[in-house]
Amino acid sequence: MKVLSKDIYANSGFVYKFTKGVESDPFHIYIDKPAMHKALGRVRGKKVLCVGSGNGDECAYIKSVGAVSVTGIDLSKEMVKQARSRHPGINFYVMSADNMKFPPKSFDILYSDLVLHYIDDLGKVFRDAFRVLKPGGRFIFSTTHPIYDMLERRHSNRGKHAEGLFGYIRDDKRYRIIGDYFTRRVIGGKWFNKYDVRFYYKPISGIIMPALRAGFLLNDIIEPKALASLKKVNPGRYKKLSRVPQALILNLQRP
């Protein structure tokens, strides 16, 4: 399996910055996490596995809303180390999403927040997820939205701001096409002005079809908009994220 995140999430400097970033990033606070919590629904009495649990905060949230047991797995030793020290009451294991070492039918819910775009072959992940879920169990995950990721990144003159473009522009009396929806590729950017973070771009069919082929039913597709409260905090970002989808959430079910 090709995993682009392996080196970056093994870097303790990055992991530290990442955790701080998640705590203050409007994308996490005003779009992804509230929508994921809503999609998660009632967890009282359920056994939940967090896939790509990061610093463990999402596992702690799921426990706080009534799950009977919560387990976290992450490919990065550094992330698992941090999760264990932040949440000593939860079990975290170093394990990959496409090679989960749990017996069949172990969990009621699998929850994976912004992880699957780091993995090229989603077929193996979905087959494994299907195996460890109980019949009737749900797999809820968020990923970066292909519509957002297909945008072509441009930098301002000062190189500070990235711009996204898709469509046609007229240039010297000719139309040029900008961006690419169809081609699977590696994309990414610099995070915290320092770290190169890369992930896999796939069109929407490249995300949904491997799940259906693994046997899942598709309960829901969620394309969350920003919470209204972002408007006060960051009006520009609010305007953009009210029009351009940055997260794609699927709610899958094992029949």
Ligand X SMILES: C[S@@+](CC[C@H](N)C(=O)[O-])C[C@H]1O[C@@H](n2cnc3c(N)ncnc32)[C@H](O)[C@@H]1O
Residues at the interface with ligand X (CB under 6 A) = 3, 5, 9, 22, 52-54, 58, 73-76, 79, 96-98, 113-115, 118-119
- Distance of alpha carbon 19 from alpha carbon 13, whole angstroms: 10
Cβ closest to ligand X, residue 113 vs residue 149: 113
Query: Closest separation between CB of residue 172 and ligand X, Å?
Result: 41
- Distance of alpha carbon 233 from alpha carbon 29, whole angstroms: 11
Query: Closest separation between CB of residue 116 and ligand X, Å?
Result: 8
Cβ closest to ligand X, residue 115 vs residue 133: 115
Query: Closest separation between CB of residue 214 and ligand X, Å?
Result: 16
Alpha helices in 98-254 (DSSP H): 122-132, 146-149, 204-213, 230-233, 235-241
Give all strands of the β-sheet with 133-144 in edge-to-edge order: 91-94, 69-74, 47-51, 107-113, 133-144, 247-253, 217-222
Cβ closest to ligand X, residue 185 vs residue 239: 185
Query: Closest separation between CB of residue 17 and ligand X, Å?
Result: 12
Cβ closest to ligand X, residue 154 vs residue 190: 190
> Which amino acid appears at position 119 of this protein?
I
- Distance of alpha carbon 21 from alpha carbon 116, whole angstroms: 19
Using CB positions, name the residue nearest to ligand X: 54
